[in-house]
Amino acid sequence: MKWTRRKAFTLIQKLEPELARLGWHCGLTGGVLYNSKSNHDLDLVVYPHCSKTADPRVWQALLRRLGWYRVMTAPQLHRHWSNKGSYDQKHVEVWWVDGDEDKRVDIIYPVTYQEGSTYP
């Protein structure tokens, strides 16, 4: 799928109210924001309203209920990057909207869970 700003805004306008009810928000970044389009993916930042009570499993469960499919967790993506020579450790997950691999969304989010908890 070719992501455009219009398609991104449509998705964000549907997603944001659902996330907000759960104490999370989302914003646009990456190629679609800077170049108005991307043939590869849509980059979204998902961030908590309050970092003290934020648990990423909440928004992950929401995306699953909406029919999204998580293709790669952050640790899996870190291993993938490491195999290519990069040691970037930002928290990014790869999702497919409606389970469609042509609707790839990379979700960047802050680490908010407590030390010692299991990775979501």
User: 54 in a domain, yes or no?
Assistant: yes
User: 26 in a domain, yes or no?
Assistant: yes
Whole-model pTM: value is 0.84
State which residues form the domain around 48. 3-108
Number of domains observed in the structure of the chain: 1
Residue 67: give its domain's CATH number.
3.30.460.10
User: 75 in a domain, yes or no?
Assistant: yes
Please give the Cα distance from 113 to 80 (Å, whole number): 23
Per-residue pLDDT reduced to its tens digit, 32-89 = 999 999 999 999 999 998 877 678 889 999 999 999 999 998 888 888 778 888 877 7
Q: Cβ contacts of residue 17 below 8 Å, gap of 6+?
A: none
Return phi, psi of residue 4, to 5°.
Answer: -120, 165
User: 118 in a domain, yes or no?
Assistant: no
User: 60 in a domain, yes or no?
Assistant: yes
User: 119 in a domain, yes or no?
Assistant: no
